[in-house]
Chain A
Amino acid sequence: MEPLKNIESLAYFSPEILLVVFAAAVIIADLLIKNRESELVAYISLVGLGCSLVAILITNSLINSNEPIPLFFGMIRLDGFAVFFKILLLLATAATILFSLRSEELDARLKGEYYALLLAVTFGMFLMASSTNLLMIFISLETVSLTSYILAGFLTHSPRSSEAAFKYITYGAVASGTMLFGLSMIFGMAGTGDLSQISSQIASVLASGGVSTLSVLIAITFILAGIGYKIASVPFHMWSPDVYEGAPIPITAFLSVASKAAGFALFLRFFHVGFGKPEILQSIDWGFILAIVSALTMTVGNLAALPQRNVKRLLAYSSIAHGGYLLMGAVLLTPEGLGAIFFYLIVYLFMNLGAFYVVVLIANEAGTEMIDGYRGLATRAPLVAGAMAIFLFSLTGIPPLAGFFGKWVLFYAVIGEGLYWLAFIGLLNSVVSLYYYARIVKAMYFETSEDTNGLSFSTGTFALLSVFAIPTIFIGLLNIFYTFSDKITLQ
Chain B
Amino acid sequence: MLLSLMIFVPLLGMIVVLLLPRESEELIKRATLAFTLVPLVLAVVLFVSYDRSSAGTQYFVNVPWIDAFNINYHIGIDGLSVTLLLLTALLGPICVLASWRNIEKGLKAYMALFLLLETGMLGFFAALDLFLFFVFFELTLLPMYFLIGVWGGPRREYAAIKFFLYTLFGSVLMLVAMIAVYLNSNVINGVAEGVRTFDIPTLITLAGTTGHALADSTFQMWVFLGFFIGFAVKVPIFPFHTWLPDAHVEAPTAISVILAGVLLKMGTYGIVRINMAMFPEGLAIFTNGVGFWGNSLALLGFINIVYGSFCALAQTDFKKLVAYSSIGHMGFVILGLAAGNSAGINGAILQMFNHGVISAMLFLLVGVLYDRAHHREINGFGGIATKMPVYTGITTLAFMASLGLPGLSGFVGEALSLLGAFQEFELITILSTIGIVVGAAYFLWTLQRVFLGQLNPKYEDLPEINKREILTLVPLGILTIVLGIWPNFALDMFSESVTNLVNVLDAI
A427 to B157, alpha carbons, bound, how many Å? 24
Query: Least Cβ distance of B106 to chain A in Å?
Result: 8
Tell me whether A427 and B172 are in contact in the complex, defined as CB-CB below 8 angstroms, given that A398-B141, A442-B157 are known contacts.
yes
Q: Does B394 count as interface, using CB distance less than 8 angstroms?
A: no
Which chain B residue shows the least CB distance to A442? B157
Q: Does B390 count as interface, using CB distance less than 8 angstroms?
A: no
* Chain A residues with CB under 8 A of B182: 412
* Chain B residues with CB under 8 A of A482: 66-69
A424 to B175, alpha carbons, bound, how many Å? 10
Chain A 406-423 against B: per-residue CB contact (8 Å), 1 yes, 0 no? 001001100110001001
A435 to B180, alpha carbons, bound, how many Å? 27
Chain B 84-125 against A: per-residue CB contact (8 Å), 1 yes, 0 no? 000000000000000000000010000000000000000000
Q: Does B134 count as interface, using CB distance less than 8 angstroms?
A: yes
* Chain B residues with CB under 8 A of A393: 142
* Chain A residues with CB under 8 A of B142: 393, 398
* Chain A residues with CB under 8 A of B64: 479
- Are A438 and B164 in contact, CB atoms less than 8 angstroms apart? yes
Which chain B residue shows the least CB distance to A420? B176
Query: Least Cβ distance of B90 to chain A in Å?
Result: 26
A442 to B135, alpha carbons, bound, how many Å? 23
Size of the chain B interface, CB-CB below 8 angstroms: 33
- Are A400 and B139 in contact, CB atoms less than 8 angstroms apart? yes
- Are A412 and B169 in contact, CB atoms less than 8 angstroms apart? no
Chain B 132-168 against A: per-residue CB contact (8 Å), 1 yes, 0 no? 0011001101100110011000001100110011001
* Chain A residues with CB under 8 A of B175: 408, 411, 427
* Chain A residues with CB under 8 A of B179: 411-412, 415-416, 423
A482 to B182, alpha carbons, bound, how many Å? 17
Q: Does B65 count as interface, using CB distance less than 8 angstroms?
A: yes
Q: Which of A379, A404, A427, A442 contacts B161 (CB 8 A)?
A: A442
- Are B176 and A424 in contact, CB atoms less than 8 angstroms apart? yes
Query: Least Cβ distance of B42 to chain A in Å?
Result: 22
* Chain A residues with CB under 8 A of B66: 479, 482
- Are B149 and A430 in contact, CB atoms less than 8 angstroms apart? no
Q: Which of B135, B141, B149, B173 contacts A446 (CB 8 A)?
A: B149
Which chain A residue shows the least CB distance to B157? A446
* Chain A residues with CB under 8 A of B161: 435, 438, 442
Q: Does B183 count as interface, using CB distance less than 8 angstroms?
A: yes
- Are B172 and A431 in contact, CB atoms less than 8 angstroms apart? yes
Q: Which of A379, A399, A428 contacts B134 (CB 8 A)?
A: A399
- Are B176 and A423 in contact, CB atoms less than 8 angstroms apart? yes
- Are A479 and B168 in contact, CB atoms less than 8 angstroms apart? no
Which chain A residue shows the least CB distance to B134? A399
- Are A442 and B68 in contact, CB atoms less than 8 angstroms apart? no
Which chain B residue shows the least CB distance to A424? B176
Q: Does A434 count as interface, using CB distance less than 8 angstroms?
A: yes
Which chain B residue shows the least CB distance to A411? B179
Count chain B CB atoms within 10 A of each CB in A399, A415, A430 and give the residue with the most. Answer: A399
* Chain A residues with CB under 8 A of B146: 445
* Chain B residues with CB under 8 A of A415: 176, 179-180, 183
* Chain A residues with CB under 8 A of B138: 398-400, 404
Q: Does A483 count as interface, using CB distance less than 8 angstroms?
A: yes
Query: Least Cβ distance of B124 to chain A in Å?
Result: 12
- Are A431 and B169 in contact, CB atoms less than 8 angstroms apart? yes
Chain A 449-491 against B: per-residue CB contact (8 Å), 1 yes, 0 no? 0000000000000000000000000000001001100000000
Which chain B residue shows the least CB distance to A343? B68
* Chain A residues with CB under 8 A of B139: 399-400
* Chain B residues with CB under 8 A of A424: 176
- Are A479 and B176 in contact, CB atoms less than 8 angstroms apart? no
Which chain A residue shows the least CB distance to B108? A382
Which chain A residue shows the least CB distance to B182? A412
Which chain B residue shows the least CB distance to A485? B68
Which chain B residue shows the least CB distance to A382? B109
A393 to B176, alpha carbons, bound, how many Å? 20
- Are B156 and A427 in contact, CB atoms less than 8 angstroms apart? no
A230 to B179, alpha carbons, bound, how many Å? 32
Tell me whether A442 and B172 are in contact in the complex, defined as CB-CB below 8 angstroms, given that A399-B134, A415-B180, A431-B165 are known contacts.
no
Q: Which of B69, B150, B168 contacts A430 (CB 8 A)?
A: B168
Query: Least Cβ distance of B360 to chain A in Å?
Result: 26
- Are A427 and B176 in contact, CB atoms less than 8 angstroms apart? yes
* Chain B residues with CB under 8 A of A434: 164-165, 168
* Chain A residues with CB under 8 A of B180: 415, 420
Which chain B residue shows the least CB distance to A418? B183
A168 to B342, alpha carbons, bound, how many Å? 68
* Chain A residues with CB under 8 A of B68: 479, 482-483
Query: Least Cβ distance of A428 to chain B in Å?
Result: 7
Interface residues of B in 335-352 (CB under 8 A from A): none
A434 to B134, alpha carbons, bound, how many Å? 18
Query: Least Cβ distance of A403 to chain B in Å?
Result: 12
- Are B135 and A428 in contact, CB atoms less than 8 angstroms apart? no
Q: Which of A399, A438, A479 contacts B67 (CB 8 A)?
A: A479
Query: Least Cβ distance of B395 to chain A in Å?
Result: 32
A400 to B141, alpha carbons, bound, how many Å? 11
Count chain A CB atoms within 10 A of each CB in B65, B66, B138, B183 and give the residue with the most. Answer: B66
* Chain B residues with CB under 8 A of A430: 168, 172
Count chain B CB atoms within 10 A of each CB in A393, A434, A438, A446 and give the residue with the most. Answer: A446
Q: Which of A412, A431, A447 contacts B168 (CB 8 A)?
A: A431
Query: Least Cβ distance of B164 to chain A in Å?
Result: 6
Q: Which of B135, B156, B157 contacts A400 (CB 8 A)?
A: B135
* Chain B residues with CB under 8 A of A446: 149-150, 156-157, 160
A447 to B149, alpha carbons, bound, how many Å? 10
- Are A399 and B135 in contact, CB atoms less than 8 angstroms apart? yes
Interface residues of A in 130-171 (CB under 8 A from B): none
* Chain B residues with CB under 8 A of A442: 149, 157, 160-161
- Are A412 and B69 in contact, CB atoms less than 8 angstroms apart? yes
Chain B 64-89 against A: per-residue CB contact (8 Å), 1 yes, 0 no? 11111100000000000000000000
A414 to B173, alpha carbons, bound, how many Å? 15
A80 to B176, alpha carbons, bound, how many Å? 32
A412 to B198, alpha carbons, bound, how many Å? 13
Which chain A residue shows the least CB distance to B160? A446
A51 to B175, alpha carbons, bound, how many Å? 43
A400 to B168, alpha carbons, bound, how many Å? 14
* Chain B residues with CB under 8 A of A431: 165, 168-169, 172
Count chain B CB atoms within 10 A of each CB in A404, A420, A434, A435 and give the residue with the most. Answer: A434
Interface residues of A in 358-410 (CB under 8 A from B): 378-379, 393, 398-400, 404, 408
Tell me whether A416 and B67 are in contact in the complex, defined as CB-CB below 8 angstroms, given that A398-B138, A434-B164, A445-B150 are known contacts.
no
Give the 3 A-B residue pairs with the shortest CB-CB distance, closest first: A482-B68, A427-B172, A399-B138
Other A-B contacts than A400-B135, A442-B149, 8 sampled, CB-CB below 8 A, are A378-B106, A398-B141, A399-B138, A427-B175, A430-B172, A438-B161, A445-B150, A446-B156
24 A–B contact pairs at CB < 8 A?
A378-B150, A404-B138, A411-B176, A412-B179, A415-B176, A415-B180, A420-B176, A420-B180, A427-B176, A428-B169, A430-B172, A431-B172, A435-B161, A435-B165, A442-B161, A445-B149, A446-B150, A446-B156, A446-B157, A446-B160, A447-B157, A479-B64, A479-B68, A482-B68
Q: Which residues of B pack against A, CB within 8 Å? A: 64-69, 106, 134-135, 138-139, 141-142, 145-146, 149-150, 156-157, 160-161, 164-165, 168-169, 172-173, 175-176, 179-180, 182-183
